[in-house]
Structure 1
């Protein structure tokens, strides 16, 4: 994994930003943090931030593979985070 990890303050802000209204989304997000919290890269943080701009149901559709990222979300960062969250 990259040594380009976000700092503790950025991690705290990211965790706060990732709080969702749907329990299902929170479960995916918490699993991601549990696996990657020791070193979330700037790239992963950017991908996660992009995903958090979505409505809860749109995010859940991506997490459940009902849809795939398109347009502005079709970035390597988003794909990396989605792959990790879906695993």
Structure 2
């Protein structure tokens, strides 16, 4: 799969149905994905597999992922400039 096709597919997966989550996921995809290494990309893909209600609680700071790797990618996304 070409890089462009992969990014288009990921852009679709970033659509979560909540504007705030959409913006956070797309901010990562547009701002960090191109330079991310394979390990970080794999974490982002794992994050996309999580349920929206969990993502919402994690990104709003109401909970922290038990998985330290997922907690790390959440922190990376939250630290991205707006």
Report the RMSD for the aligned CA atoms in angstroms: 2.0
> Residue 85 of structure 1 corresponds to which residue in structure 2?
77
Aligned length: 77
State the 4+ residue runs in structure 1 displaced beyond 3 angstroms.
7-12
The runs of 5 or more residues in structure 2 that have no matched partner are none
The runs of 5 or more residues in structure 1 that have no matched partner are 1-6
Query: Which deviations, in whole Å up to 9, do the C-alpha atoms of 1:21-49 show, x marking residues without a partner?
Result: 11110111122223213323222222122
Structure 2 residue corresponding to 1:10, chosen from 6, 9, 14: 6
Matches within 5 A, 1:1-87: 7-70=3-66, 74-76=67-69, 78-87=70-79
TM-score, normalised with respect to structure 1 = 0.69
Q: Mark the CA change 1:17 to 1:59 in structure 2 (over 3 Å): closer, same or farther.
A: same
Q: Distance in 1 between matches of 2:57 and 2:43?
A: 16
Q: Which has the higher contact order (CA 8 A, sep 6+)?
A: 1
TM-score, normalised with respect to structure 2 = 0.72
